[in-house]
Structure 1
């Protein structure tokens, strides 16, 4: 079975759950999961990582750049 969104594709092992499809089915339409990977059982997202990367995508029609560029309290 092949799972993916757009050009991103991966092969699922037989009997493996398609987590991308399951999670996207439970999330609101304006949110989505693009992929996932398995990790060792003793992996800790807080302590075992080598690096982290976050990407946020916004629809331009709902984006107020003037407000988003204002500093927050405490900065």
Structure 2
């Protein structure tokens, strides 16, 4: 019988999951939050979705690293 070693997390899955959650949160803030007078609704949606998606991807990758070191 072979003894299975510890499983390492798939970083790509953590990054993608974090990015998708960030996109959803950013989109929700753009749609339901107060609108800025200088930007159109589509511009706000795009900026917040991309920004939160990027931050969510970073946090997801960090979560994967922390789970590996556990």
TM-score interval, normalised by the smaller of the two chains: under 0.3
User: Greater RCO between the two (CA within 8 Å, min separation 6)?
Assistant: 2
TM-score, normalization by structure 1: 0.26
TM-score, normalization by structure 2: 0.27
From the two aligned structures, give the one with the greater strand fraction: 1
